[in-house]
Amino acid sequence: MSTHGNWRKSSYSGEGDGNECVEVANSTTHVAVRDSKAPARATLTFPRAAFTRFLATVEEPEGNPPPR
């Protein structure tokens, strides 16, 4: 997955001191995630469908998982 120049910080990075956030990069098939404080370190890459499902799960109120 080529992500050079596609990284953007989480919308929550402005909260607090802004030093504890992640950056994401999208391609047509995958989403990559990295630590904004250490961008040269490991990157996690997920299939787009799996990452979309993950976001839907964390955005739902507790005890109400999204439909599959």
Order of strands across the sheet that contains 22-26: 8-9, 22-26, 30-35, 44-47
Going through 1-68 in order, the beta strands assigned E by DSSP cover 8-9, 22-26, 30-35, 44-47
pLDDT at 47: 96
Q: What are phi and psi of 53, to 5 degrees?
A: -65, -45
Q: What average pLDDT is seen over the chain?
A: 80
How far is it, in rounded angstroms, from Cα 34 to Cα 31? 10
- Mind listing the pLDDT tens digit for each residue in 29-41? 999 999 888 888 9
Q: For residue 51, what pLDDT band results from cuts at 50, 70 and 90?
A: very high
Q: For residue 15, what pLDDT band results from cuts at 50, 70 and 90?
A: low
- pTM of the predicted model as reported, rounded to 2 decimal places: 0.70
